[in-house]
Amino acid sequence: RCVSRTHVNYEVKDNVAVIRINDPTSKVNTLTRQLQDDMMEVLNEVWGNSAVKSAVIISTKPGCFIAGANIDMIKVCKSAEEVSKLSKEGQMMFEKIEKSPIPFVAAVNGTCMGGGLEFAIACHYRVATKSKKTVMALPEVMLGLLPGAGGTQRMPKMLGLPTAFDVMLTGRSIRADKAKKMGLVHHVIDPLGPGVKDPEERLIEYLEEVAVGVAKGLAKKTVTVEKKKGLMQKVQDAVLGIPLVRNQVYKTVTQKVMKQTKGLYPAPLSIIEAVQAGVEKGPAEGYHVEAVNFGKLAMTPESRALIGLYQGQVACKKNNFGKPEREVKSLAVLGAGLMGAGIAQVTVDKGVATILKDTTTEGLARGHDQVYKGLNDKAKKKSITTFERDMTLSFLKGQLDYSGFEKVDMVIEAVFEDLSIKHKVLKEVEAVIPPHCIFASNTSALPIREIAAASKRPEKVIGMHYFSPVDKMQLLEIITTDKTSKDTTASAVAVGLKQGKVIIVVGDGPGFYTTRCLAPTLVEGIRILQEGVGPKKLDSLTTGFGFPVGVSTLIDEVGVDVAAHVAEDLGKAFGSRFGGGNVDVLKTMIQKGFKGRKSGKGCYVYSAKKKDKQVNSGTEEILKAFKLTAPPAVSGDEDVQYRLVSRFVNEAALCLQEGILADPVQGDIGAVFGLGFPPCLGGPFRFLDSFGADKLVQKMKRYEDAYGNQFTPCQLLLDYAKDPSKKFHK
């Protein structure tokens, strides 16, 4: 029978069954059908062998215990019942382990997520390595699902209600030492340095040796599973033993979830329901609700959207342009402003020697401080040590001149958004850099071909559009012109990936993809403000639709001057389609010094002390001066929301139609990760698929009648509206 077993195997060492997992068909272990069948077979053999007194579950795959359930297994299911069945099978397997006559030790090295962690917590004892790759999490909520293999039932028992909710509702990653503190693992071991073989290979062996030792101890009862509870834990347990208190916990958690999700995400509520069922009504009911809810969630458009985003993100973390001819080992950033310093930070963070050049010592000092602060914040949070902070900072070299540029492999300019300045630095840089060096422009709207016009070697010129704050925003939009060489693109993508970015590669044009979608949305926002909807109301309407940041706040965050600049530039390029609101509103705001958050005033007034921001009365007066009458037929709350969204989505579709976007996946990823398009909708194209292009076109036609051609649906939308079987995502 061993012949057919490919994913799981075992050996008996000193009465301990060592069960080893390794999926030979993939870089990571996932809970596939094959793996589960192999596992059940092995478990039955182990239980049938009276010489086995305890067991160890370990993965021999480097960097991965079990990464989770296999998403494709869920995606192919056609009904909620089918998915529930998968959940029940998982529940049963893990329950068998939990109730096993012999103790099980989970030996965890590397990713241990979702179903993998549910597997581990079904075991009686957990040993984990403190390797950087060892991460535990129940990230199902981020996919619009719940931990469907007993996770909602075991976690509360193991961690207590509040922590269990925190882990399951945020899906956050937990490192081994933190897991030890929380009581999620019993024992941790430090990673090893080089010995007489590959360190990780030896670490897995060592982990196995330690786990076997624990397993023997458990069998002989010299090791106990019980942990000593601290006073706080005892108090918490006692308090949570009172049903009334527990009810209050459920209520508070639900309120918190509703506040954060605006009720747009069903998964967190389902998780609370499953936990509550198990705690209040017993395990049978708990497991039942968990399985049923799991099935229901898998069929929701929210889950499909989130899974789509997850898979899109994985796709956008690959380099589809091949291996660059030479690796970028040293890089220079021009301009030590917010963006420049941010780019420098994410670059030195990965050990790449980086020159940060500015024109003034003040600018340079500010930029250097920004990088230091970014790293120091990490040190304060203990995600790096102060020593690592200092070592990382040593890769940064601040300077005012071009010395050393003759050795850099890539220059990223982040100077002021003005074509003539960009031309000036491009020429200066090209005079000093080596022939192979790539020149990248971090611009949010200036067409790259216009910048490259000043270049002697346009094949080495590319756009790299970062988002602010660079160290927090995941997206990087890379813009290629028809002259950009493939190797230049490959190199830019490789650098972006090293910086940890999710990357979309788009064609050149005013505003590229992201800024082009943002501009009409902002202009419509201004129109809505002019029509008398206050900034606060506009914010709540947009966040209520699922945008993480409301439009008024977004204008302040982006900067009123930047918004005006972009609206005007793109307005010139695209004509009346980018009309609607009056750019003079923004210009008047700038005149009065209301430049947004950076100047302390914009749509709102910002002060360091008050958390609750107040609407800026100065801006309200300006809006009154520019007041327009709202056509009543299209000015209800829902219409306001769809006016904003339809302009966004229409422009995205136009980008796909014109070939600026290569595919809908990159369009969705760019919109969600760069602009905060509602994640529950999965991006403009996923939204069109689930909402229906025809329905959106109908709405747009109504708006077109009231406002004019800024709402005219593009041809691609009309095509998809005509044929409902056409979908952007398969």
Partner 1 sequence: FNRPAVLSKSKKTLSKPGVRNVVLVEGVRTPFLQAGTTYADLMAHDLARGALQGLLNRTAFPKEAVDYIVYGTVIQEVKTSNVAREAALGAGFSDKTPAHTVTMACISSNQAMTTAVGLVASGQCDAVVAGGVEFMSDVPIRHSRKMRKMMLSLNRARTLGARLSLLGSLRLSHLVPELPAVSEFSTAEMMGHSADRLAAAFGISRLDQDEFALRSHVLAKKAQDEGLLTDIVDFKVPGKDIVSKDNGIRPSTMEQMSKLKPAFIKPHGTVTAANSSYLTDGASAVLIMSEEKALAMGYKPKAYLSPTYAIPKVLERSGLTLADIDAFEFHEAFAGQVLANLTAMESDWFAQNCMGRKAKVGAPPMEKFNLWGGSLSLGHPFAATGCRLVTMVAHRLKKEGGQYGLVAACAAGGQGHAMLVEACPQ
Residues lying near partner 1 in the complex (CB under 8 A)? 187, 189-197, 199, 202, 205-206, 210, 213-214, 385, 387
Range list of H helices, 123-175: 151-159, 161-170
Q: Would you call 532 exposed, middle or buried from its count of C-beta atoms within 10 A (0-12, 13-18, 19+)?
A: middle
- The answer, yes or no, to whether the previous bond of 469 is cis (omega within 30 of 0) is yes
Cα 32–chain centre separation: 25
Q: How far is the CB of 88 from partner 1 (least distance, A)?
A: 38
Name the DSSP class of 69: B
Query: Measured between alpha carbons, how far is 593 from 561 in angstroms, rounded to an integer?
Result: 10
Return the residue matching tokens 């003079």.
584
Q: How far is the CB of 134 from partner 1 (least distance, A)?
A: 16
Residue with Cβ nearer partner 1 (88 or 216): 216
Q: What angle do CA 247, 226, 382 make, to 5 degrees?
A: 75
Query: Measured between alpha carbons, how far is 413 from 426 in angstroms, rounded to an integer?
Result: 8
Residue 406 known to be catalytic? no
- Options 273, 430, 477, 651, the catalytic residue: 477
Q: How far is the CB of 194 from partner 1 (least distance, A)?
A: 5
For residue 103, give the nearest of 11, 209, 226 by alpha carbon.
226
Query: Measured between alpha carbons, how far is 160 from 179 in angstroms, rounded to an integer?
Result: 14
Q: Which two tokens stand for residue 164?
A: 């269990």
Q: Which two tokens stand for residue 552?
A: 């008024």
Query: Measured between alpha carbons, how far is 648 from 20 in angstroms, rounded to an integer?
Result: 50
Q: How far is the CB of 664 from partner 1 (least distance, A)?
A: 45
For residue 280, give the nearest of 237, 244, 253 by alpha carbon.
244
Q: Which two tokens stand for residue 391?
A: 């070592």
Residue with Cβ nearer partner 1 (103 or 367): 103
Residue with Cβ nearer partner 1 (193 or 632): 193
3-state class (DSSP) for residue 577? helix
Residue with Cβ nearer partner 1 (189 or 675): 189
| Cβ–Cβ under 8 Å, residues 179 and 172 | no
Q: Which two tokens stand for residue 267?
A: 């998964």
Q: How far is the CB of 130 from partner 1 (least distance, A)?
A: 11
Residue with Cβ nearer partner 1 (162 or 217): 217
Return the residue matching tokens 């044929």.
723
Q: Give the strand pairing for 461-466 and 438-441.
A: parallel
Query: Measured between alpha carbons, how far is 528 from 693 in angstroms, rounded to an integer?
Result: 24
Q: How far is the CB of 220 from partner 1 (least distance, A)?
A: 14
Q: How far is the CB of 211 from partner 1 (least distance, A)?
A: 10
Q: How far is the CB of 369 from partner 1 (least distance, A)?
A: 22
Residue with Cβ nearer partner 1 (194 or 435): 194
For residue 487, give the nearest of 339, 321, 645, 647 by alpha carbon.
321
Q: Give the strand pairing for 125-129 and 104-108.
A: parallel
Q: At what angle do helices 693-707 and 637-658 cross, to 10 degrees?
A: 110
Residue with Cβ nearer partner 1 (48 or 193): 193
Residue with Cβ nearer partner 1 (247 or 385): 385
Which residues are part of the catalytic machinery? 477
